[in-house]
Structure 1
Amino acid sequence: MSTREFFEVEAKFAVADDTEVPDLTGVSGVEGVADTAVHELSAVYYDTGDLRLTRSRITLRRRTGGTDAGWHAKLPGDGGRRELHHDLTDDDADANTVPEPLIDPVRAIVRDLPLIPIARVDNERHESTLTDAGGTVCAEFCDDHVTAWSLLPGGDRTTWREWEIELSDDYAGTDAGAQLIESATELFGAAGADPSGSPSKLVAALGDSIDDAPRLPGVAELAPNSAEAGVLAALEHNYRRLLDYDPRVRGDEWDSVHQMRIATRELRSHLETFDGVMDGEIYRGTARGLRELASVLGVARDAEVVAERFRELTSDGEPEVMAPEAAAALVDSVHADYRDAHARVVEYLNSPDYLRLLGELEDLLADPPFRGDVGAKKNRGATDPAAEVLLDHLGRAYRKLLARHDHAMSVWEDPSVPLREREENIHRIRKAAKKLRYSAEAVGAATGLRTKHLYKACSRMQSVLGDFQDAVTSRDMLLAKAEQARAEGGADTFLHGLLYQREMSNGEQALAGYRKTMDSVVDAYSELDNQRRKARRKAEGKSGKSGKSGKKEGKRKH
């Protein structure tokens, strides 16, 4: 059996039973109707009991009849919909068992919940193939006579007629295709058709019965201007990003592992920043689950970065110095490492631990474990207890960054300290900058303080130190590959040594801009600290003196 993917671009129109189909060659770009056929289609749609797929604009069905019988999953996409097809089998169990290749892209949504029939749609389809001036198929026109049953409690039988025009693969996503759809809309409108008010046949089939289905947990409603509402908004944003990138990682889309890892790390950092505003063992267990997910994604991400660096490092070498065969073998070896690591990521994304983590995050958003002594306030401000907790976390994150910087710089040029230890000190600065950046973002969202300058300063520092760390990671991989080559038969490792020295130089160049970024972080935090004290004085009704405004962080230049 095979699973195939298509990109679907179509428009739907509601029409009365007695509406006549117009001359389809009146559509711009359509020169002929190649053939017309009538198909009897029958589809059963599946979802969880609380309609997680339907509410996410995803449909999953098993269709018989017509030219594309099989299992179909339709997912939202840019400018259209992704459509996955999976073949039917002769097995009787096929009618009740959704194929795994169609569940994987929606696993983060349905998790391990059972998928049950929710609707049946029968359709007498009059299908016409439309061609352009060159005889190329440009679109399909379907005149559908539909009878549907909602299988939800309180569901009913409905009938309707609709027209669909779907672009061919050659036209989907093109200007000519967009013009064709626009022209068809005008022609069909003149014939008495209206744009369909329902996004899919499934939604039309469910009708009002969808309102009686169990609701998803949703997100807790809090006082809109409270720090707690900001906390929840920050968590929800990255939770949605996690769900969004899950199917992309499974499909190995470019940069998806990186983006899912960022969302995971931000979520984990936010949970750490919000510790004290939220509480409980489940809360801390969720943070541990995010750490494990980030670790699994990190192995694949490191291999992905190194593979790209090796490709670039070997792309412009002199053949007499850098043998093409050896360079290709080295790059292929790291690509193989990435494929293995990606397979482990997908395995983890199907694990009970990961699915439980998603459930914990969903529950946390629906019923956030806020501490009673930091209850929601009606107005933002520095006197909000929750805001004070968040700002204290931010201050600690800043002081940790300063301490790590001081230690790293004090030994950076000391040859008595092993290079590995000195480089690890720099890596620890980067992790502290990342934590401060995420904390700044969360505090800004939760308190209304302007943290953008600090966030951007930390981001620039991360970029500089990230380039440095990528060079270090690449060198580590080169050492490992050289050792592997020797162990497998004493292969020439000259290339490994040559690239190792290049990466030493690349790391030094990256680190040259570090101190400037540190000064920017200090300036940005000082600016934020002043802003915080002013907000507190205003909230306390004072002027001209700070009162109990807390210790001022001193400005330093490095």
Structure 2
Amino acid sequence: MTLEEERKYDVSPSFVLPELAVADARPAARAAVTLTATYFDTAGLRLARAGASLRHRVGDALPWTVKLPTAAPGVRQEISLAGADPTQPPEALTWLVAALTRGSPLVPVAVLRTRRQRVDLCDAAGTRLAEVADDTVEVLSGTAVPRTFREIEVERTGGPAELLSAVEERLLAAGARTGGFTPKLVRALGAAAAYPPDLLPPAATLPAGARAADVVLAAVRGAVARIVAHDPLVRLDEPLPDGDTAVHQMRVGVRRLRSDLRTFKPLVDRRWAKPLRRELGWLGDLLGAARDAEVLRDRLRATAAADPAHPTDDRDLAALDTVLAARREQAYADLLAALRTRRYLALIDRLTAATRRIPLTPAAAEPAAQALPGLLARPWRRLVRGAKGVPGAPDLSPTAPDVDWHQVRIHVKRARYAADAAATSGDRPARRLAKALARLQDSLGEHTDAALAARTWLALAESHPALASTLTRLAEHERTLATTTRATYPAHWRKAERKGTFLSLRV
């Protein structure tokens, strides 16, 4: 997978490409080429309307390409594969866009023939920094050409962002027009491809006087967007640019949505929400198994490196990593198998529909400012008082078993998600509480990870006696980390408790 960053410009048929020797970059023209691409989509253009595409382009070394949108305009993820049959997309790419197509058949929807004149912008050493493509595009219908348009694409291939701005200045001075980032396919298909996507994004801000229903919809849209956006990245199994993993982010989306549906229980039709939470739980368990295996591998390396006075034997470390890698591979295989089932596609279909309409109760019509504090008070009350044998956050003892610490963390997370949701309506006390709870959640998360690792190392010591000495030492180190985290807990909790003072009358 690569990131494609480009800018597009509309130009007239008579446009003359200006001199492009800018910002110390040297232009080098390349031979013109003709590219013929067939685009595949659902009958309802689900991919195009979502800003994605799947095409076969004659002449490319890897002729099949999927492009997926990102949050940044003009930046898309690009994945290319080989494929012998130009009429049938490779199965891997079909599944890569399954969260958008939801299993609907892919059919040819457009054929574009592009006459491309390229100019590379290189540094003094000949390294390519950017590519300027002058494209004349013909939309084909059999042998007829009902529509033609011309555009300039400027793609960054390693140079600084300032280079694109310098090129843009030259192009605009020569008569080019910026028109936003509109893919060729969307221009070719016209109005049908410009309809809103099936999966509606959350609003950036809620209006003053928003209803509780608006907050529910915003929360659902945000969580579903996270799940769907990370679906193809989970399938690719590549790390994210910030070092995180797609499995982790998709799991966060699932957990947040389950928690929000729990928080908004009085506002949402139970007959709709209960089975949806059950299916999210199924998916969350699969993601959790893969994520736990990721965390354990990371902690193995980190813990081994954290005690230089007692270095871990490289052979022991390699043997343990092999064991954990196999565990992660099995969990990941189970996850991938689930993502290729009708059950999963049905879940995604329901989530997509939920971004448009949610069955609500009459209470959802209340102003958010009136409804949300009471809803936030419920998870806050569980956190403060405890529930079902779990101690309340103020009563959590340094000697309590790991399970109690983990359960308190779950209550912290639920209260935090509820505060996040309330904050979307402009509730400043809720926003401050959410930030404090996030810090507390991070601290308790470190405890959970350390405790899980310690138990895992001791369990592996029993099944791998040759590695028992190393594993016991690693487990001791993790227990020390867990104890340290427990010691810092009271200070973190007091800060969160102060931020939750505005809820005290409701508790």
What TM-score does the superposition give when structure 1 sets the normalisation length?
Answer: 0.79
Alignment of 1:438-457 (within 5 A): 438-445=417-424, 448=427, 450-457=429-436
One-letter identity of the residue aligned with 2:500: Y
SS in 2 for 1:475: helix
Matches of 2:340 and 2:279 in 1, distance apart? Answer: 14
Could you tell me which residue of structure 1 aligns to residue 167 of structure 2? 184
What amino acid is the match of 1:11? R
Query: Structure 1 residue 160 and structure 2 residue 156: aligned?
Result: no
Provide the residue aligned with 2:449 in structure 1. Answer: 470
Q: 2:190 aligns with which of 207, 227, 235?
A: 207
1:239 aligns with 2:239: no
Number of the residue aligned with 2:286: 296
Once residues 476 and 285 of structure 1 are traced to their aligned partners in structure 2, the CA distance between those partners, rounded to angstroms, is: 33
Q: Do 1:58 and 1:75's aligned partners in 2 also have CA atoms closer than 8 Å?
A: yes
The amino acid across from 2:456 in the alignment is M
Residue 78 (structure 2) aligned to one of 75, 83, 98:
83
Whether 2:467 is the aligned partner of 1:504: answer no
Q: 1:53 aligns with which of 47, 64, 72?
A: 47
Please tell me whether residue 118 in structure 1 is matched to residue 109 in structure 2: yes
1:95 aligned counterpart, secondary structure: coil
Give the aligned partner of residue 376 of structure 1.
Answer: 365
Query: What is the distance in 2 between the residues matched to 1:156 and 1:32?
Result: 32
Separation in 2, partners of 1:309, 1:127: 48
Structure 1 residues 202 and 68, CA gap change in structure 2 (3 angstroms): farther
Identity of aligned residues (%): 31
| CA apart distance, 1:86 | 1.8
1:197 Cα deviation from its structure 2 partner:
5.7
Q: 1:280 to 1:261 in 2, by over 3 A?
A: same
Q: What are the superposed Cα offsets for residues 292-336 of structure 1, whole Å, 9 maximum, x if unpaired?
A: 111111112212222111112212556876322212322343233
Structure 2's unaligned 5+ residue stretches are none
Q: For 2:77 and 2:202, how far apart are their aligned partners in 1?
A: 31
Contact 1:70-1:87 at 8 Å conserved across structures: yes
Write the deviation string for residues 414-463 of structure 1: whole angstroms up to 9, x where unpaired.
Answer: xxxxx8xx221222222222222222333444694732343233333322
CA contact (8 A) 1:149 1:205 kept: no
Checking the alignment, whether the CA contact within 8 Å between 1:220 and 1:368 is kept in structure 2 is: no
Q: Deviations 1:11-66 (Å, cap 9, x if unpaired)?
A: 33333333344455x44444353x6423332212122233222222212211114x
Q: Does the 8 Å CA contact 1:50/1:215 hold for their aligned counterparts?
A: no
Q: What amino acid sits opposite 2:221 in the alignment?
A: E
Structure 2 residue 1 is the aligned partner of structure 1 residue 8: no
Query: For the structure 1 residues 478 and 42, does the alpha-carbon distance in structure 2 shift closer, same or farther, using more than 3 Å as the test?
Result: same
Counterparts of 1:126 and 1:266, CA distance in 2? 48
Which whole-Å CA distance do the structure 2 matches of 1:317 and 1:521 have between them? 33
**TM-fit CA distance, 1:380:** 4.1
Give the whole-Å Cα distance in 1 for the aligned partners of 2:133 and 2:495. Answer: 61
| More displaced 10-residue stretch of structure 1: 229-238 or 124-133 | 124-133
**1:404 paired residue among 376, 390, 415:** 390
Deviation (angstroms), 1:473 = 0.5
What is the distance in 1 between the residues matched to 2:215 and 2:52?
A: 29
The structure with the larger Rg is: 1
2:212 maps to which residue? 227
The reply to whether residue 523 of structure 1 matches residue 498 of structure 2 is yes
CA RMSD of aligned residues (A): 3.4
Q: What is the CA distance between 1:287 and its match in structure 2?
A: 0.3
Distance 1:456 1:27, change over 3 A: closer
Determine if the alignment matches structure 1 residue 96 to structure 2 residue 87: yes
What amino acid is aligned across from residue 391 of structure 2 in structure 1? Answer: H
When residues 469 and 186 of structure 1 are mapped into structure 2, their CA distance, relative to the original with a 3 A threshold, is: closer
Deviations 1:201-239 (A, max 9, x none): 11211123446x797375899996211111111111111
Cα distance in structure 2, aligned partners of 1:70 and 1:64: 6
1:68 shift after superposition:
4.9
1:114 deviates by 1.6
Q: Hey, what's the Cα distance between the residues in 1 that align with 2:480 and 2:30?
A: 67
Is 1:71–2:64 an aligned residue pair? yes
Q: 1:191 & 1:219 partners in 2: Cα distance?
A: 37
Native 8 Å contact 1:400 1:432 kept in 2:
no
Tell me the alpha carbon deviations over residues 79-118 of structure 1, each in whole angstroms, 9 at most, x when there is no partner.
Answer: 63322222241xxxx2332213323432222221122222
Question: Which of these residues, 1, 14, 22, is aligned with residue 18 of structure 1?
Answer: 14
The alpha-carbon distance between structure 1 residues 512 and 130, as it changes in their structure 2 partners (threshold 3 A), is closer
Structure 2 equivalent of residue 536 of structure 1: none
Q: Secondary structure at the match of 2:273?
A: helix
| Aligned counterpart, 2:348 | 358
Task: Quote the offset at 1:475 in angstroms.
Answer: 1.3
Give 1:271 shift: 0.7
d(CA) in 2 for partners of 1:466, 1:440: 18
Partner of 1:533: none
Matched to 2:4, the amino acid is E
Distance 1:371 1:219, change over 3 A: farther
Distance of 2:311 and 2:4 partners within structure 1: 50
Deviation at 1:69, TM superposition (A): 6.3
Aligned match of 1:485: 464
What secondary structure, in the 3-state scheme, does the structure 1 residue paired with 2:359 have?
coil
Asked whether the 8 Å contact 1:230–1:447 carries over to 2, the reply is no
2:408 matches 1:429? yes
Q: Matched residues in 2 for 1:334 and 1:63: separation? A: 41
Length-normalised TM-score, structure 2: 0.86
Q: Which ranges of structure 1 fall in alignment gaps of 5 or more residues?
A: 414-418, 531-551, 554-558
> SS at the partner of 2:429?
coil
8 Å contact from structure 1 (residues 43, 122) kept in 2: yes
Gap change, CA 1:399 and 1:185, over 3 Å in 2 = closer
Amino acid paired to 1:517: H
SS of residue in 2 equivalent to 1:19? coil
Task: Write the distance in 2 (CA, Å) between the matches of 1:333 and 1:520.
Answer: 41
Distance 1:118 1:358 in 2: 24
